[in-house]
Amino acid sequence: MTLTLEGISKVVEGAVHIHPTDLTLAPGTMNVLLGPTLSGKTSLMRLMAGLDVPASGRILWQGQDVTGMRVQDRAVAMVYQQFINYPSMSVYDNIASPLRLQGKSKAEIDAGVRQTAEMLKLTPMLERKPLELSGGQQQRCALARALVKGAGLVLLDEPLANLDYKLREELRLEIPRIFEESGAIFVYATTEPEEALLLGGNTATLWQGRVTQFGPTPEVYRQPKDATTARIFSDPPMNFLSVTKLGDRIGFGDGQEVAALGTLAGLADGDYLAGFRPNHLEIDRPEGHAMEFEARLNVTEITGSETFVHLDHHGQRWVGLIHGVRDLELGAVLRVWLDPAHVYIFGTDGALVAPAAYAQAA
- State how beta strands 202-207 and 56-61 pair: unpaired
HEC assignment per residue over 315-353: CEEEEEEEECCCCCCCCCEEEEEECHHHCEEECCCCEEE
Start-end ranges of CATH 3.40.50.300 in the chain?
3-230
Each residue's pLDDT expressed in tens, for the chain with a length of 362 residues: 799 999 999 999 999 999 999 999 998 899 999 999 999 999 999 999 999 999 999 999 999 999 989 887 888 988 887 778 899 999 999 999 999 988 999 999 999 999 889 888 899 999 999 999 988 888 889 888 888 888 889 999 988 777 777 777 777 777 777 777 777 899 999 999 999 998 889 999 999 999 999 999 999 999 999 999 999 999 899 999 999 999 999 999 888 888 888 778 888 999 999 999 999 999 988 888 889 999 999 999 988 788 999 999 999 999 999 888 888 899 999 999 999 999 999 999 999 999 998 887 66
**Architecture category of domain 3-230 in CATH:** 3-Layer(aba) Sandwich (3.40)
Residues of the chain with CATH 2.40.50.140: 236-361
Q: What is the pLDDT of residue 362?
A: 63
Q: What is the pLDDT of residue 64?
A: 93
Task: Identify whether the C-beta of residue 297 lies closer than 8 Å to the C-beta of residue 329.
Answer: yes
Return all residues near 258 (Cβ < 8 A) that are at least 6 apart: 249, 250, 252, 291, 340
Domain 236-361 is found in CATH 3.30.365.10: no
